[in-house]
Amino acid sequence: MWLLSTLYSEVEPRPQWLELAKHGIDFIERFGFDADGKMFFQVTRAGDPLRKRRYLFTEGFGVLAFAAYGKAACDQEYIRKAYDLYSFMEKYPENPDRMLPKVNSSVRPTKAAKASTPNPSVKR
C-alpha cells in the first residue's frame, strides 16, 4: 500500500495505483488487527490470522501504509488512522503486561526457564 500510494503521490497519479492501494488498505482494516489493537504479522489470503509478533513491528508498516494512502487519496481519515496507530505504538511499552512471554511455559517449561534466566557472561 505504501509503494502504490507513494507512486501515485510522487510519480504519476495513475488511478489503478490508488485503487490497488485502497484494496490493500481495506484488507488490512478488515483482517489485519487483533482485538487487542495489535496487527497480525501474517494472515492467509482469506484473512485468517497466522502469526502476531510480541513486539511492535507490523504496526510501523501499518502507520506508513495509512499515512501514504491518506496523502495520496487526500483522505484525512487515513491520516488520523496513521496517527492513532503511531500513538498506540508510543504507549505500548508503558504497559509491561502487554509484552507476552516468548515461550509458553506450560508447553515447554525448560525453554521458558532458560529464556527468563539471565546469561552471566553478558555484562549489563
In the three-class reduction of DSSP (H, G, I as helix; E, B as strand; rest coil), residue 85 is classed as helix
How many independent structural domains does the chain possess? 1
Confidence of residue 55 (pLDDT cuts 50, 70, 90): confident
Q: Is residue 40 part of a domain?
A: yes
Helix or strand holding residue 43 (H, E): strand 42-43
Residue 87 lies in a domain: yes
Residue 122 lies in a domain: no
Q: Is residue 39 part of a domain?
A: yes
In this predicted structure, the answer to whether residue 108 has a pLDDT above a threshold of 90 is no
123: in domain: no
Number of CB atoms found within 10 A of residue 20's CB: 17
Residue 48 lies in a domain: yes
**Per-residue pLDDT tens digits for 7-53:** 999 999 999 999 999 999 999 999 999 998 999 999 999 999 998 88
* Amino acid (one-letter) located at 14: R
Q: What is the CA radius of gyration of the chain?
A: 18
| Residue of higher predicted confidence among 93 and 6 | 6
* Cell matching residue 67: 499515512
Domain assignment of residue 9, given as a range: 2-116
Q: Could you tell me if residue 35 is inside a domain?
A: yes
Whether 124 is in a domain gets the answer no
